[in-house]
């Protein structure tokens, strides 16, 4: 996605509006939603897949399957509020990635597996950069937050969306979003700082 | 500070982290704020990690290709030095972004000299040394490419922040001591240790870079003074050949600089610096930073001794001097005190953990694992291993145990693989707990990587139910500088099983173990593992 695309994105229809239109059978809205999220999710998935699975086609297949599956469950996002759709997509994709990792992993030849060894020995890019324990602690702390805060953090931290983009998504202003993101991060950090390191 | 103020301050920090901007961490903390601040530090690391991923995937696209170097797609310039310029590039074979250093057109350095840097660097594999991936000449330009370290140089961190805290300085010092020990034991001298040549990765890993000034220990002497002035040892300034001792001096100067933002001697030009070094003395680090632990400041000052013989004799000896010195009980070594503390903790935890003859006899298991993308697999003694293999040791004992792991490379001394500074777990290992060693640094799980093309790897694992001060002292004192030569000179190729009568190659280790195990001492046991290299290119 180029910078130009992202500027357009900020002025585009909010995802919630698109979802409502898709539910009325609007094929154009469906295409717009796919166009909006596919590159974002593809980029995100690249950092969450172990190296041997980072083949471009495989990543695309996973992302598309997740996105199309989510299209069949649009009802629930309307009730969970702005930003929830992207957080849902991310979680669904994460689950798919975990399934794929399990499928790719060969069982150890012999020997008992203790808790530590049951960690995936196939680190993803983000795990390679910051460490798998840090990623795991973050995931746990994130899952404990309200859905709205989850969405804000995911959009800013993981997807690298600008404040105007997030503002368009949650139907707010960039300044207000900046404050909301900061508060969500403080909330998450409090839980994260309590984790044993 | 009022609660609302604290809340505002935390939100302001969070906003800066979310915007990927530098953060000045507050020093005054309450209990609740402390927890959130710890979490914010974690978030900063995560944020930087995700930001790098976004940059990576955004820049791997063909339209961002500036030019090609062999199979590498060159993306953007990262920096420039006297010898070469450094580019961010993409290696499609590795599916990784790499740092590509290209010899400058018109550089005085000859292409083969430039490539020598890659060859020297390729010999040393260490967690705190940048990994080299390849070197080649394309279209008349020599280039070498290494891992792309994502982070900041220590010099840029010093520009943006106050001087480093005591524990940060110590941690960096220990990492660099171990990196230098690896360099020296491969028969090399780095030659240009300085803040601009050390990076702190976003994960916190310290990485020694730029081996452009490195040289073989036994290379012919030249009269050219190379290196960076403020870090040059007095003897090098006077024309002596750079040596491990001058690397130790430079590391001392670097730690002095990190702790104080000053240099031991400051002067404008070579002659002025020599006069300053000849002068009546310099300011001691303890004067500039009275808050530093005395032992640590003393260790750094010792490394800066104008006389090479007055410095720590090896990088490992420097590490031992820098390492935490627990309060000593009268007549006992520090490890005896640690053992006592551990024993107390175990006693409090419950009598079933207490190592006593009244409970089940001591049982301990020790097994090497090969760690790869598919998982961890047990390595039987005698199994073939290959260059680049990542190994770990699975250890479990029914009593608390002090564990020591050595790479016995047949020389007079053995390389210490465990325990390691800054790595958890530390001795003693708890009873009835399965450990995978070497353990973890911060949140990163570590392995040992087979990094030399020796004919075989030999490991000695020693476990004891009580601390072994003699072994601890030996670990701190061993000199490893000459071990590399022995590594390449022994054994035979192939998958031969370990000979039954083989004994531990390192004489001091063999002798210490013989003393410790004398008379069938039930408190100490050791295992020896031999893994031949399956194939050598």
Alpha carbons within 13 angstroms on the beta-carbon side of residue B498 total: 20
Question: Closest to B378 (Cβ–Cβ): which among A111, A115, A178?
Answer: A111
Q: Is the pLDDT of residue B494 over 90?
A: no
What tokens appear for B332 in the block?
């006992």
Q: Which chain A residues contact residue B39 at CB under 8 A?
A: 141, 188-194
Calpha distance B445→B205 (Å, rounded) = 12
**Comparing A30-34, A157-161, B30-34, which segment has the lowest mean pLDDT?**
B30-34
Calpha distance A88→A147 (Å, rounded) = 9
Residue of A nearest to B367 (CA): A111
Q: Which chain A residues contact residue B436 at CB under 8 A?
A: 114, 116-117
pLDDT at A135 (0 to 100): 87
Per DSSP bridges, beta strands B198-201 and B206-208 are antiparallel
DSSP for B77-124, written as a single string? EEEE-SSEEEEEEEETTTTEEEEEEEEPTT-SS-HHHHHHHHHHHHH-
Calpha distance B494→B171 (Å, rounded) = 40
Q: Do A181 and B18 touch (CB under 8 A)?
A: yes
pLDDT at B280 (0 to 100): 63
Name the H helices within chain A.
3-11, 15-23, 27-48, 56-71, 75-80, 84-104, 125-130, 132-143, 147-153, 163-170, 174-193
pLDDT at B532 (0 to 100): 80
Closest CA to B304 of B360, B353, B255, B367: B255
What tokens appear for B485 in the block?
């030569």
In this predicted model, which residue has the larger pLDDT, B102 or B339? B102
Digit-coded pLDDT (tens) for B445-483:
778 877 666 677 788 899 987 777 777 777 766 644 333
How far CA B359 is from CA of A43, B334, B352, in Å, comes to: 57, 28, 8
| Cβ neighbours around A94 below 10 Å, total | 15
ipTM of the complex: 0.81
What tokens appear for B481 in the block?
């500088």
Segment B112-121 shows an average pLDDT of 74
Closest CA to B506 of B473, B528, B532: B528
**Comparing B27-41, B70-84, B393-407, B434-448, which segment has the lowest mean pLDDT?**
B27-41
Calpha distance B228→B269 (Å, rounded) = 11
Contact with chain A for residue B56, Cβ under 8 A: yes
pLDDT band at B358 (very low <50, low <70, confident <90, very high): very low
Q: Do B42 and A193 touch (CB under 8 A)?
A: yes
Mean pLDDT (chain B) is 74
Q: Which chain B residues contact residue A177 at CB under 8 A?
A: none
In this predicted model, which residue has the larger pLDDT, B125 or B144? B144
Q: Which chain A residues contact residue B34 at CB under 8 A?
A: 193
pLDDT band at A112 (very low <50, low <70, confident <90, very high): very low
How far CA B284 is from CA of B249, B256, B257, B325, B529, in Å, comes to: 15, 9, 12, 20, 47
In this predicted model, which residue has the larger pLDDT, A186 or A81? A186
**Comparing B284-288, B354-358, B512-516, B523-527, which segment has the lowest mean pLDDT?**
B354-358
Residue of A nearest to B372 (CA): A121
Q: Do B39 and A160 touch (CB under 8 A)?
A: no
Digit-coded pLDDT (tens) for B389-445:
788 899 988 777 889 888 876 666 677 788 876 677 877 787 777 888 888 776 677
Calpha distance B516→B519 (Å, rounded) = 9
pLDDT at B496 (0 to 100): 30
pLDDT at B249 (0 to 100): 95
Calpha distance B75→B89 (Å, rounded) = 5
pLDDT band at B521 (very low <50, low <70, confident <90, very high): confident
Calpha distance B459→B193 (Å, rounded) = 31
User: Each residue of B188-218: b (16+ CB within 10 Å) or e?
Assistant: bbbbbbbbbbbbbbbbbbbbbbbbbbbbeee
In this predicted model, which residue has the larger pLDDT, B121 or B391? B391
Contacts of B521 (CB under 8 A, 6+ apart): none
pLDDT at A138 (0 to 100): 92
Q: Is the pLDDT of residue B26 over 80?
A: no
Which B residues 168-227 touch A at CB under 8 Å?
202-203
Contacts of B68 (CB under 8 A, 6+ apart): B74
pLDDT at A9 (0 to 100): 42
Q: Is the pLDDT of residue B246 over 90?
A: yes
Cβ(B311)–Cβ(B249) below 8 Å: yes
Quick one: how far is CA B361 from the chain centroid? 37
Calpha distance A33→A71 (Å, rounded) = 9
pLDDT at B253 (0 to 100): 94
pLDDT at B213 (0 to 100): 62
pLDDT at B519 (0 to 100): 67
Question: Closest to A130 (Cβ–Cβ): which among B17, B46, B434?
Answer: B46
The alpha-carbon gap from B292 to the nearest alpha carbon of chain A, in Å, equals: 25
How far CA B368 is from CA of A22, B382, B464, in Å, comes to: 56, 11, 18
Q: Do B376 and A117 touch (CB under 8 A)?
A: yes
Whether the link from the prior residue into A44 is cis, omega within 30° of 0, is no
pLDDT band at B316 (very low <50, low <70, confident <90, very high): confident
* B450 dihedral zone (left: phi>0; alpha: psi -120 to 50; beta): beta
Closest CA to B139 of B164, B100, B102: B102
In this predicted model, which residue has the larger pLDDT, A49 or A15? A15
Q: Which chain A residues contact residue B394 at CB under 8 A?
A: 111, 117
Question: Closest to A109 (Cβ–Cβ): which among B47, B371, B377?
Answer: B377
Contacts of B500 (CB under 8 A, 6+ apart): none
Calpha distance A17→A6 (Å, rounded) = 18
Closest CA to A80 of A89, A90, A88: A88
Q: Is the pLDDT of residue B18 over 60?
A: yes
| Cβ neighbours around B82 below 10 Å, total | 9
Segment B355-365 shows an average pLDDT of 57
The alpha-carbon gap from A24 to the nearest alpha carbon of chain B, in Å, equals: 35
**Comparing A26-35, A121-130, B123-132, B293-302, which segment has the lowest mean pLDDT?**
A121-130
Calpha distance B204→B405 (Å, rounded) = 25
Residue indicated by tokens 């609660």 = B3
What tokens appear for B279 in the block?
């002068």
Quick one: how far is CA A133 from the chain centroid? 19
Q: Which chain B residues contact residue A119 at CB under 8 A?
A: 445
DSSP for B445-508, written as a single string? EE-EE--S--SEEEEEEEEESS--HHHHHHHHH---TTHHHHHTTSS-SS-PPPPTT---S-HH
Grouping H, G, I as helix, E, B as strand and the rest as coil, residue B41 is helix
The alpha-carbon gap from A8 to the nearest alpha carbon of chain B, in Å, equals: 18
pLDDT at A176 (0 to 100): 92
DSSP bridge partners of B372:
B375
pLDDT at B61 (0 to 100): 46
Residue of A nearest to B8 (CA): A183
Question: Closest to B36 (Cβ–Cβ): which among A131, A158, A186?
Answer: A186
In this predicted model, which residue has the larger pLDDT, B54 or B97? B97
How far CA B443 is from CA of A75, A127, A191, A196, in Å, comes to: 39, 10, 17, 11
């Amino acid at each position: 996605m180029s910078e130009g695309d992202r500027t357009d994105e900020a002025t585009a229809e909010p995802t919630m509006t698109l979802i409502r239109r898709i539910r009325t059978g609007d094929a154009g809205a469906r295409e717009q939603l796919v166009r909006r999220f596919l590159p974002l999710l593809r980029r995100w998935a690249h950092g969450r897949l172990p190296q041997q699975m980072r083949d471009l086609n495989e990543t695309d297949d996973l992302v598309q399957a997740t996105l199309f599956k989510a299209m069949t469950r649009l009802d629930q996002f309307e009730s969970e509020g702005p930003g929830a759709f992207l957080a849902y997509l991310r979680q669904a994709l994460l689950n798919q990635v975990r399934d794929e990792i399990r499928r790719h992993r060969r069982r150890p030849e012999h020997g008992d597996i203790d808790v530590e060894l049951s960690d995936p020995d196939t680190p993803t890019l983000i795990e390679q950069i910051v460490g798998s324990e840090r990623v795991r602690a973050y995931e746990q702390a994130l899952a404990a937050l309200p859905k709205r805060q989850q969405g804000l953090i995911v959009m800013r931290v993981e997807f690298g969306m600008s404040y105007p983009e997030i503002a368009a998504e949650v139907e707010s202003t960039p300044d207000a979003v900046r404050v909301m993101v900061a508060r969500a991060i403080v909330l998450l950090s409090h839980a994260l700082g309590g984790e044993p390191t | 500070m009022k609660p609302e103020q604290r809340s505002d301050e935390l939100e302001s920090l969070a906003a800066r982290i979310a915007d990927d901007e530098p953060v000045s961490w507050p020093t005054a903390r309450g209990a609740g704020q402390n927890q959130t601040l710890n979490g914010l530090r974690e978030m900063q690391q995560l944020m930087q990690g995700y930001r790098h991923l976004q940059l990576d995937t955004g820049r791997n696209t063909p339209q961002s290709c500036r030019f090609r170097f062999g199979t590498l797609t060159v993306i953007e310039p990262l920096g420039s030095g006297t010898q070469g310029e450094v580019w961010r590039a993409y290696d499609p074979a590795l599916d990784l972004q790499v740092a590509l250093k290209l010899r400058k057109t018109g550089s005085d350095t000859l292409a083969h000299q430039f490539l020598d840097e890659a060859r020297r660097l390729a010999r040393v594999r260490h967690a705190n040394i940048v990994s080299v991936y390849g070197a080649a000449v394309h279209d008349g330009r020599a280039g070498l490419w290494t891992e792309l370290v994502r982070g900041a140089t220590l010099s840029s961190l010093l520009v943006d922040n106050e001087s480093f805290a005591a524990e940060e300085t110590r941690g960096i010092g220990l990492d660099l001591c171990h990196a230098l020990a690896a360099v020296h034991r491969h028969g090399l001298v780095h030659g240009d240790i300085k803040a601009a040549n050390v990076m702190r990765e976003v994960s916190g890993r310290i990485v020694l870079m730029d081996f452009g000034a490195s040289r073989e220990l036994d290379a012919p002497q030249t009269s050219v003074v190379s290196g960076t002035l403020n870090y040059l040892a007095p003897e090098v300034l006077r024309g002596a050949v750079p040596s491990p001792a001058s690397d130790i001096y430079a590391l001392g100067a670097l730690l002095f600089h990190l702790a104080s933002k000053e240099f031991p001697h400051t002067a404008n030009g070579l002659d002025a610096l020599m006069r300053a070094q000849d002068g009546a003395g310099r300011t001691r680090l303890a004067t500039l930073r009275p808050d530093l632990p005395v032992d640590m400041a003393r260790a750094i000052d010792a490394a800066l001794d104008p006389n090479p013989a007055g410095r720590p004799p090896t990088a490992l000896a420097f590490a031992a001097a820098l390492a935490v010195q627990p309060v000593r009980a009268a007549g006992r070594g520090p490890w005896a005190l640690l053992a006592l503390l551990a024993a107390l903790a175990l006693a409090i935890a419950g009598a079933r953990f207490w190592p006593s003859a009244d409970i089940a006899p001591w049982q301990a298991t020790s097994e090497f694992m090969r760690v790869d993308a598919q998982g961890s697999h047990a390595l039987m003694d005698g199994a073939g291993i290959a260059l680049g293999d990542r190994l770990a040791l699975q250890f479990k004992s029914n009593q608390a145990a002090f564990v020591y792991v050595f790479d016995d490379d047949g020389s007079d001394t053995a390389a210490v693989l465990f325990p390691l500074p800054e790595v958890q777990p530390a001795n003693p290992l708890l009873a009835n707990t399965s450990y995978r060693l070497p353990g973890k640094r911060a949140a990163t799980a570590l392995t040992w990587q087979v990094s030399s093309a020796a004919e075989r790897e030999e490991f000695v694992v020693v476990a004891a139910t009580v601390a072994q001060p003699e072994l601890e002292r030996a670990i701190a004192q061993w000199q490893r500088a000459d071990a590399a030569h022995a590594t390449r000179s022994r054994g035979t190729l192939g998958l031969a099983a370990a000979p039954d009568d083989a004994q531990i190659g390192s004489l001091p280790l063999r002798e210490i173990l013989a003393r410790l195990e004398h008379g069938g001492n039930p408190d100490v046991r050791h295992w020896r593992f031999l893994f031949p290299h399956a194939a050598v290119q």
